[in-house]
Amino acid sequence: MLTQDESFVETLANTYLVTNKSNTGITKISLDTEHKKLKVWESCVPKDCDWGITSYQQKNNTITAFYAMGDIKKQLTISLLDNKSTMNAEIKYQVNQKLTKVVSYQLKAQNNRIK
């Protein structure tokens, strides 16, 4: 049986990079449309931090996913634009069920397969 990471299919066609490189926070989002899962990376030093893989729900061109990291909950809402080559992503951060921060990003799709 494959682990969650082994079954995750990452392609450049479904990998989106933040357009504003000076941004701190999210740097990359990858969608596995076959398994309805996504993976998020955040700016860290010396290399980006992997939030891990989570399932998502999709309604039309809007994707919603949730991450829980201790007391911190993150709701990720993605809107796919321009024939799915661009996405807007909004992350709502909650600590102890209180909204503490909302951050928006724009990301652009890559074009080739990676592994």
- Mind listing the pLDDT tens digit for each residue in 5-45? 555 555 555 888 888 766 578 899 998 888 889 999 998 88
Encoding tokens for residue 46? 């010396």
What pLDDT was estimated at residue 3? 47
Per residue in 50-65, pLDDT tens? 999 999 998 888 999 9
**Average pLDDT score over residue span 90-101:** 93
The domain ranges of the chain are 4-108
What pLDDT was estimated at residue 113? 37
* 4-108 topology per CATH: Lipocalin (2.40.128)
Residue bearing tokens 């082994």: 6
Q: What are the residues whose beta carbons fall under 8 Å from the beta carbon of 41, sequence distance 6 or more?
A: 26, 27, 28, 29, 48, 49, 50, 51
pTM of the model: 0.80
Query: What is the helix (H) or strand (E) element at residue 106, kind and residue range?
Result: strand 98-109
